[in-house]
A and B are shown apart, each in its own frame.
Chain A
C-alpha cells in the first residue's frame, strides 16, 4: 500500500475529499515530492499512512462524515495513532468542543475547544506572517479565512503557534490542527513536517 522512493518506503498521505480545498492539499504534497491520494470512502482510508482534513465548511463536512458512515473508521484510525492534520475546518472537525455550538457534531479526538469564525466574518479574513518555532526562524505565511482559534487546550496539547494571544496551531501526539491554510501558499514546510510524522508512524507500524 505504500510507495517506494530511493529504497526507503515513502508514506502515502490521504486528503479527506468530502468537500473543500482538497486539490490544493494534494498539489502541495506533490510539489514536495510526496505521494498523495484523495480519501472519500472507508476503503481508500485503509490505504493511507496519514490523513489531512482540508479547509471547507465544518457544518457541512461534520454532517457528511456521519451521513456517509465515515465517523467510525476515522475515529478508529486516528485513536490508533494515524497522523492526522486538520486545517481550519479540519481542526474544527477534529476538536472536542465548539464554543457556543454544542449541537454541531465533531470527531472529538483533539482535546481542544475551538471558536468558529473567531476573527470575524469574511471581510476580516487576512494574511499574516506567523512565528512557528518548530519550523525554524523563517516566518510562515499565515492565510486565515473565516478562521477559528483555539480557546482552550487540554493538558496533552502543545500550542505550537500563537497569534494575538490565541492558539492557531496545536499538536496532541499524532494529531495536528492549524487555524490557517498552508495549502494556499507556496511554502511547503508544514506539509513536509507532517509527512515526516506520517513516515515515522508508518515505520513504527
Chain B
C-alpha cells in the first residue's frame, strides 16, 4: 500500500469492475484451466471447486471452494481472481479477503447461508459482485455495498433465456424511472424496496451506478454478442467453456465475440472457429422449481 493512501474506497472497488469491462470472466476449477482461460484472453477467472453445471448435478450443499484450489489458481495467473461465497456468509468472505482474493461473488449458485440477509459489503476492502434479476434486486445489492452487478440468468443451464429476461428487465425499469416525473420516485423506491437516493441517481444518469455484466447461460459466441448488444458491459461464462467439447477454442471465440459484439462478420468468424460442440442445455421449464438457482437471495 502507498503512504497516505485510502484503500478499500467505493471508487477503487467499483473501479476494478470498470477495468474488467468489455471482457470475459471464466469459471475455472484447476490452475491448468485458469491458464487456458488467461491464454484465451479472459480478463479474470472465477476459482471454483465445481462449475455450476456440476453443482446442479451433484446436489447437496454447495459452499465456498477449497482454499488450496483458490490459492493454486491465484498463483497460476496474473489476471484478477474471483471466488464465490454463499449468500449472507460473511465469514467465508472474511476468509477470502484474508488470502488476498481480488473480487468476491456473493452467489446464488452456492447454497444460501442466510435466508433473509446478504453480506454487509461496505465492511470489506475487497469488492463484491452480486446477481440481480431486476432493478430492485440490483439496487438493494448496491445499497449493501456491491461494486458490480451481474444478471443471475440460470447458472449451469446452458440456456440464455433467463439472462436475457434479467438484462431486459433492468434496462426497461431504468428507462421507466428516467422518464417519470420526480414526485413518483419516492413511491417507486418504496415499491422496489430500494433507497430513494439511489433511485434518483439512476433516474438522472440512466444507468446503474456500478458496472453490469451478464451471467447465467452464455454458452456460445453468439450468446455473448446478444447480451452485449442488450447492454451487458461484459460477460461471465460458467459452464459454457469447460463443458464444451473444445474449451480453448470456445474461450477464444467468446472473447472475440465480446470485443466485436456489434460486428456480425467478426462474430461469424468466432462461430466458425469453434471446432466443437457447445455444452448441452436445459429447458428452464423442465428444471424442478426447487432446483432453480435464480430465485435465491432476492
Contact = CB atoms under 8 A, between A and B. Distances in A.
Interface string B74-116: 0001111000000000000000010011110000000000000
Interface stretch (A3-11, A45-53, A56-64, A73-81): A56-64
B136 interface: no
A57 B43 contact: yes
Interface residues of B, number: 42
A101 B3 contact: no
Nearest to A56: B19
Given A57-B43, A60-B41, A128-B2, A184 B15 contact: yes
Interface in B4-53: 4-9, 11-13, 15-16, 18-23, 38-39, 41-44
Contacts, number: 129
B18 A55 contact: yes
A123 B3 contact: no
Given A22-B22, A24-B18, A60-B79, A144 B41 contact: no
A59 B78 contact: yes
Given A123-B125, A128-B4, A145-B15, A57 B79 contact: yes
A96 interface: no
Contacts of B19: 20-21, 55-57, 88-89, 145-146
Contact of A101 (B13, B78, B260): B78
A122 interface: yes
Nearest to A23: B21
> For the side of the interface on A, what is the size category?
35 or more
A164 B38 CA distance: 31
Overall SS of chain B's interface = loop
A18 B21 CA distance: 10
A126 interface: yes
A180 B30 CA distance: 32
Interface of B: 1-9, 11-13, 15-16, 18-23, 38-39, 41-44, 77-80, 97, 100-103, 125-127, 255-256, 259-260
29 contacts: A18-B22, A19-B23, A19-B259, A20-B18, A20-B19, A21-B19, A40-B260, A55-B18, A55-B19, A57-B19, A57-B23, A57-B80, A59-B77, A60-B23, A63-B39, A63-B41, A64-B259, A67-B41, A89-B19, A123-B97, A124-B7, A125-B16, A127-B9, A129-B4, A143-B15, A146-B19, A146-B80, A146-B102, A181-B15
Closest 7 CB pairs of A and B: A126-B5, A128-B5, A125-B12, A122-B102, A19-B22, A57-B43, A21-B18
